[in-house]
Chain A
Amino acid sequence: MHLELMMSSSFSIFRVGISLVMLCIFYKSAGDVLPELSPHKYFSTLQPGKASLAYFCQADSPSTSVLLEELNEAVKPLLDYGISVAKVNCVKEETSKYCGKEKDVMKAYLFRGHILLREFPTDALFDVNAVVAHVLFALLFNEVKYISTWEDVQNVENALKGKANIVFSYVRAIGTSEHRAVMEAAFVYGTTYQFVLTTEIAVLERIGPEDIEYAHLYFFHCKPLLDLTQQCQRTLMQQPLTTLNIHRFIKIMEAPLLTEVAEDPQQVSTVHLQLGLPLVFIVSQRATYEADRRTAEWAAWRLLGKAGVLLLLRDLLEVNIPQHANVVFKGEEGVPVEFLVLHDIDLLIARVESNAHIEETGEDEGDIQDDEVAETVYRDRKRQLPLEVTVELTEETFNMTVMASDSVVLFYAGWEAVSMAFLQSFIDVAIKLKGTSSMLLSRINCGDWSDTCTKQNVTEFPVVKMYKGGKNPVSYTGMLGTEDLIKFIQLNRISCPVNITSVQEAEEYLLGVLHEDLISYSSVSVLGIFSPTMKTAKEDFIEAGNYLKGWVITGIYSEDDVLILSKKYAATLPALLLARHKEGKIDSIPLANTHTQDIVQIIRSALLETFPEITVENLPAYLRLQKPLLILFSDGNINHNYKKAILDLVKQKHLDSLIPCWLNLKNTPAGRGILQVYFDTLPPLPCLVLVNLHSDGQVFAFPSDQSITEQNLFLWLKKLKAGLQSHITILSAQEWKPPLPAYDFLSMMDASASQYSTSEAPENSKETDVQENDKKQHEDKSAVRKEPTETLRIKRWNRSNWFKEAEISFKHDKEL
């Protein structure tokens, strides 16, 4: 959008005497390099009416100098304005009056056709800005009036009242980048507006009280003036003097001050919106039209350069706008308009200015939530959760409730995102278990009942505890999700280890008949068998069973006839019998001199499978083994043959140093993301990958042209071991650093303090007048409050390269 605007204006600039076509022909071969010509050659290329800048120098002078470099840079920008640049080598054979007698008094000359317009001492052309500024200044002699007194300004102003508008600018010096910007603007707009330029501070001071440190540009609204005794209205350009800013400013000045519309504000667009300014609609009614229009005009003058002002005729409007609204605010295209009730113009102006503020700060990505849990919980905040399926506890009801009934309590805090995310799963658990469990699902918001939670030793969130039979509560340490919590609650229905009383019952237990309804939650049933005298071994096992409560079903048998079991399963007492229900297998593990923690370990590793399907939930259990993973990625269930091949290798103990596993993309779609990291593009499936997570992060892929057979696999692994395979990728070893910087308040405070101390220093010395002191304190304060933030915002502006990009496209269009 900006692009189009720039184009239309840049085309309008090509004026008489500058032929676009010629330009192209002339420079076709030359490109953007400074051409080096002999004087004769140079003068023969000059076209009538065309401007050209030439630097004459001795042939034996150094081929590089600062000036030449700057000239070289100026080739392209000047070319945009149809001005050629050349270096003319004064060779002995060809004498020219422009070739100086001595080496060091060489000059640059500006010609139009063969007519000399101006000569420049080389020190005036100190950089590319100076070159462009000087050349344009010379060419636009009539369009840009240079003045040095206030009277000159007044004379120009008086002459143009009722006729044309004036663009007045003050620059600190000729040849600066601001001067160049003004000249470039004058090149475009010089015929439409009278440009007035000064370098005299005194002149600027007559116009406004603004800080004279910087360049200024004013637009004098002289054309609409009817009463010639009046002064022209003036609008100061707030932005720094750059070509693009001036262009944008003039575009806004050209736009009508006030437009009447009778359409849906949502649909209205003007040049203001396209230039990034908001629109303000003053809502008018037929009855008060005249007054409204006056108000709107007044507002429009005050907001000139800050917003576009329109008068919205409510009576002619087809869409409804809220009854009380008297102002409609449209921040940007495509964003819903805001309806406002504002009772004076100052509020309106404040609103517009605060919008500019919001726009600026809105760019700050530091304010954008990048915590997925916090963000998702926040986005879901308005959804009504069926909280009533759980019991809400308070300080008063807590103890009573957990004493009276077996309860699972979720401790959460309303402001803590993870606990709020888990609250949703907890609610799901309550819904799923409704009517099937005697367990009471309750929750307590520790944001409200902080003391109660602290008394339960809960100082972080979320925490789930199970209160059962008035005993010490058990903390839930599983995944914070529906499935695992249900499993925990269900398995806790029985008190593990279950005391088995007969061999018959033990057999039922091992077959999974005894706890048929729980088998789906615990794929393994563990039975500890002991002779009645093995007291310590039994105690250790009972402790381990307690520890694993909610994770796996455990039972204990130590009657006199325990030998029957020991013989049947070929186990020397004490021993563990592990019934794997899925595989219908019963293993035995001896338990001589094994302590509680080791028993827990044994049972834990017994829960691991030899060729598991890896899921989000079970991966951590396998990662604990600290071995490389051999993963078969599959879209759906895996081919039986592949499974067999791998299991055969397992049996032959070829895979002992690895964890062979497979991943079903249908169950675990995140697997696609993993494959993408390994392969960049998704490889054909199934595909087999070896991931060395724990040592060097190397990833190897089984060749996709080979079929996954026991033999091929074996050979591949052998080559791998020998280091004969190269990895397809290495996993990033990057540390997790802060995703974004924090506000550096310390330096903001420093900046303010240094400013404060300098401005306050004289004040401290004359602390006599209390009243004066009071006043000062406030003035200082406002300065302190304002300045550093302002500089910060400016920094932020610079960070966004909107302008740079736009500038590039602007130039680009000109070249066409």
Chain B
Amino acid sequence: MGLPAAAPLWGSPGLLLTIALHPALSLRPAKASAPQPRDYCILGAGPAGLQMAYFLQRAGRDYTVFERAANPGSFFTRFPRHRKLISINKRYTGKANAEFNLRHDWNSLLSHDAQLLFRHYSSAYFPDAGDMVRYLRDFADRLGLRVLYNTAIAHVALAKDRRAWNGHYFILSDQDSQAYRCSVLLVATGLSVPNLVDFPGSQYAEGYESVSVDPEDFVGQNVLILGRGNSAFETAENILGVTNFIHMLSRSRVRLSWATHYVGDLRAINNGLLDTYQLKSLDGLLESDLTDLAIVRDHVGKFHVTLKFFLEETNQSAEAIPLPQDDNDNFAMRVAYDRVIRCLGWNFDFSIFNRSLRLSSGAAFGKKYPLIKASYESKGSRGLFVLGTASHSVDYRKSAGGFIHGFRYTVRAVHRLLEHRHHGVPWPSTEHPVTQLTSSIIRRVNEASGLYQMFGVLADVVLLKENATAFEYLEEFPMQMLAQLETLTGKQARHGLFVINMEYGRNFSGPEKDVFFYERSVGHTEDAWQSNFLHPVIYYYRHLPTEQEVRFCPADWPLPRPAAIHHIVEDFLTDWTAPVGHILPLRRFLENCLDTDLRSFYAESCFLFALTRQKLPPFCQQGYLRMQGLVGTESLRQHGVESGLLRGYATTDGQPEDSSRQGGHPPSPVQPPDSNKEEL
């Protein structure tokens, strides 16, 4: 199939090309019989494919990216049609923390190269798609990623082999019938097939992918746009000023991203039509199921909307077809349209995958996405992972997994899973004494971008060691795979665990919600569980939840019911470092889960405890007793005495000054610490 198409190319080559091609030609027959082996094959050199290539390259793995076009990111060379990306490129946050800044940089891929940040490529808050193309090319070039351009994989099949990592190889063949044998297949082909809805007259609709973007072509026209996504509104926005009016038709109500907190819904930057609709201009929105409709063309080439069953009743010429307004003379779409534009989104291209791969589409979201697990592995064949936009079924309409700023983290998670599965590298983690627990969590919730972007999907996990004296901290684990954590990460979770997730308020997001209602913000720590804006939530489990528990977790809960839960109260600045408002309640939560005292103490207090009590708090055990006590300065000591937390000893010969203790600082050495606590 590829060969005839390639033949004309060879017809006219000069000498140079012939020489260059000669070795390739002579090798080809031999190779066709023995496909080139690769450990990892990535389909598509878009953002997700390149992101995975980067991680594989850094890990020193054997991989190849296959790209149909001559350059990376070919989707962005055409789309979005009006060239404005709606992913924000926030160049300034007032903070130096690079990880934090990624929370507000929705275009960069992850790498160690600070030059490869998108802010070096565009100064626009909503950048031009051309800059993305340039960025992706640089990303591939600067990092030296191994991409086979102009290689269109036309077919993927499965070949059983007991020696293969997954019991089978993936056999890829390109347009030249060159075959590649891959142990792991990473599909990052995005959504490339325009979504078509079949109804009578659908052939009259021009597609978003090909409709003119020149407003001049729409001057004085009545335009009907099918669809209500960003592409529909982007199209409308472009021609809003020159048309007579634009009607926009879709099954469901408009979903404003600032109400749903989902970046894939209608963004304010595209919502000009809503503004004019509500301000009594001629533009408007209509709700109806497209599959019930039909479009008929009259003799002057204008389009009329009618109902499908009218057509079924009669089989007449266009003029005679009944229209809704015949019976119902105030029918909303009774005017004739000059143009009908279809902006119904995109679907995954299933066509190249052999049926043996069982890469079926999920039922939940129509046929848009291939069916995958929360680990991004296909439900049909082991070793096939779907990355990037095509993997969005995991968190469709919930989180950011369909967008660069989200999937750059899910791709990293997949890479970590692969590293463990095939190379015995456990999930990266750091180990700390329990006294660092509060601080470790505070650090992550304040800076981690993966948690922030992929809220509800990727969560940090704290695995407690025996007796909870130490813990391991794992970042950005796909939380729906919690039950399989041990096998996926190579870590032990026998002594309880914490899961750190970011969440919006349970009942805050939704297309019909008023997100600006009065008193929407919560300020008091005891009301933290009612926080509406994105805030950290910490789940405590005594045992790793089972698969059953994860699958059947309570409605509205992202995870099974924990033994205890903590919400860090939402913060206007997303800065959760307030000592009393944020850190103290978190510490109390952790203390009560672990049944211990996690306060920090100065060396003098530890000294006193060491000589007056048989047991020491963890902070003294792990610091002071190892000769790493915190000495403190005189001025801090003074504050301590004033606050009543530290004891002031009179230096005179008289009785010690004891009044400061009377306030009842709970664990004075004389009185045992207050052990009454609420049952968790």
Contact = CB atoms under 8 A, between A and B. Distances in A.
A421 B645 CA distance: 15
A479 B627 contact: yes
A416 B677 contact: no
A484 B624 CA distance: 13
Nearest to B540: A746
A739 B605 contact: no
Contacts of A459: 430, 432, 440, 473
Interface residues of A, number: 97
Contact of B633 (A424, A484, A621, A673): A424
Contacts of B635: 380, 383, 424
B600 A734 contact: no
User: How many B residues touch the partner, as a band?
Assistant: 35 or more
B677 A741 contact: yes
A366 B98 contact: no
Nearest to A476: B628
Interface in A55-103: none
The residue in A372, A395, A477, A674 that gathers the most chain B C-beta atoms within 10 A of its C-beta is A372
B298 interface: no
B585 interface: yes
B667 A425 contact: no
A256 to B, nearest CB: 34
A312 to B, nearest CB: 30
A736 B597 contact: yes
A158 interface: no
B199 interface: no
Interface stretch (A127-135, A560-568, A593-601, A770-778): A770-778
Contacts of A200: none
Contacts of A732: 612-615, 669, 672
A588 interface: no
B366 interface: no
Contacts of A784: 507, 530
Given A376-B639, A740-B677, A428 B633 contact: yes
Contacts of A739: 591, 597, 599, 666-667, 673-674
A478 interface: yes
A634 to B, nearest CB: 12
Interface in A717-758: 731-746, 748-749
Contact of B98 (A451, A745, A770, A773): A451
Interface stretch (A183-191, A517-525, A527-535, A664-672): A664-672
A371 B430 contact: no
B565 A379 contact: no
B301 interface: no
Given A425-B631, A792-B526, A395 B666 contact: no
Contacts of B614: 693, 697, 731-733
Contacts of A669: 649, 651, 656
A415 B597 contact: no
Contacts of A477: 626-628
Contact of B580 (A369, A424, A735): A369
Contacts of B616: 736
Contacts of A380: 635-636, 639
Contacts, number: 320
Interface stretch (B117-125, B396-404, B510-518): B510-518
B277 to A, nearest CB: 17
A572 interface: no
B527 interface: yes
A450 B612 contact: no
B550 interface: no
Nearest to B605: A372
Interface string A350-384: 00000000000100101101111111111110010
A743 B591 contact: no
Interface in B604-662: 604-605, 607-608, 610-618, 623-633, 635-637, 639-640, 642-643, 645-647, 649, 651, 653, 655-656, 658
B99 interface: yes
B675 A737 contact: yes
B155 interface: no
A482 interface: yes
Contacts of A746: 561-562, 564-565
B566 A742 contact: yes
A778 B625 contact: no
B639 A415 contact: no
The residue in B447, B605, B612, B666 that gathers the most chain A C-beta atoms within 10 A of its C-beta is B612
A738 B593 CA distance: 9
B654 to A, nearest CB: 9
Nearest to A383: B635
A637 to B, nearest CB: 15
Nearest to B586: A742
Interface string A599-625: 000000000000000001101110100
A672 B649 contact: yes
A777 B565 contact: no
Contacts of B595: 737-738
Contacts of A482: 631, 633
A332 B372 CA distance: 62
A556 interface: no
Contacts of A418: 600, 630
Nearest to A668: B607
B678 interface: yes
A480 interface: yes
Interface string A453-496: 00000011100000000000000011111111000000000000
Contacts of B5: none
Interface in B456-477: 473
Interface string B411-449: 000000000000000000010100010011011001100
A732 B630 CA distance: 24
Given A376-B643, A743-B566, A673 B512 contact: no
B678 A673 contact: no
B526 A370 contact: no
A734 B633 contact: no
Given A428-B633, A669-B649, A732-B672, A413 B443 contact: yes
B602 A666 contact: no
Nearest to A449: B96
Interface in A272-304: none
A691 interface: yes
A811 B665 CA distance: 33
Contacts of B564: 742, 744-746
Interface string A614-643: 001101110100000101000100000000
A347 interface: no
A600 to B, nearest CB: 14
A373 B647 CA distance: 13
Given A477-B628, A669-B649, A744 B640 contact: no
The residue in A479, A617, A737 that gathers the most chain B C-beta atoms within 10 A of its C-beta is A737
B639 A748 contact: no
Given A367-B525, A374-B584, A379 B642 contact: yes
A373 B583 contact: no
Nearest to A451: B98
Contacts of A666: 651
Shortest Cβ-Cβ A-B pairs, 4 listed? A481-B631, A669-B649, A415-B577, A738-B591
Given A674-B612, A738-B592, A792-B526, 9 more contacts: A373-B599, A378-B580, A425-B631, A460-B432, A479-B628, A481-B631, A669-B649, A738-B588, A789-B527
Interface of B: 95-100, 253, 430, 432, 436, 439-440, 442-443, 446-447, 473, 507, 512-514, 517, 519, 524-530, 561-562, 564-567, 577, 579-580, 583-585, 587-589, 591-593, 595-597, 599-605, 607-608, 610-618, 623-633, 635-637, 639-640, 642-643, 645-647, 649, 651, 653, 655-656, 658, 665-667, 669-670, 672-678, 680
Interface of A: 361, 364, 366-367, 369-380, 383, 394-395, 413-418, 421-422, 424-425, 428, 447-451, 459-461, 477-484, 616-617, 619-621, 623, 629, 631, 635, 666, 668-670, 672-674, 676-678, 682, 691, 693, 697, 731-746, 748-749, 770, 773-774, 777-778, 781, 784-785, 789, 792
